[in-house]
Amino acid sequence: MEKKAEYQISSSVNEGILEIVLTGEVITSVVEELQNKVADLIEAKEAKNVLVDSRAINSSAGIVETYISVRRPLPIRLKTNVAVVDRPENADIASFLETTAQNVGRSLRCFTDIDAARTWLKSK
C-alpha cells in the first residue's frame, strides 16, 4: 500500500515576489496535484516573480518525474520568472530541472541561497 502524501503549501507576497513554501512529504503520485496547486496560486496572484522554497519538502520524485512535471503544460498563462530554492544535496535534480525548464522556454533558476534567489527575481 502506497503511503499517503502529507504536504503543506503556504504563500506570501514579499516586495512583489510571490513566495511559496512547501513542507512535508511528496510522493510521485501527487507531483501533478502539487504542481497544479502551485500554478493556481501563481495565477490567482497574477505573479510575475515567484520564489518556491522546497528546502523543507521530502520527495521521492526523481529525474524522470522532474522531466515529466516540467514538460507538462501548466494551466497558467502568465509569463513568470521562477526561482526554486532547494537543499545542496539536491543539486543534480535542481540542475536538471533548470536545464529542462529552459529547454521548454520557462524562466526558471535553482538556488540553495534564498537571498540569491530573491536578488535574481528582483533583477527580472
Tell me the three cell numbers of residue 27: 510522493
Q: State whether residue 95 is helix, strand or coil.
A: helix
Domain boundaries 6-122, corresponding CATH code: 3.30.750.24
Per domain, the residue ranges of the chain are 6-122
- pLDDT tens, 86-102? 999 988 888 888 988 88
Is residue 122 within a helix (H) or strand (E), and if so which, with residue range?
helix 114-122
- pLDDT tens, 35-83? 888 888 998 999 999 999 999 988 766 555 665 666 666 655 568 999 9
E runs forming strands in 2-118: 6-14, 17-26, 49-59, 81-85, 107-111
9 touches 42 (CB < 8 A): no
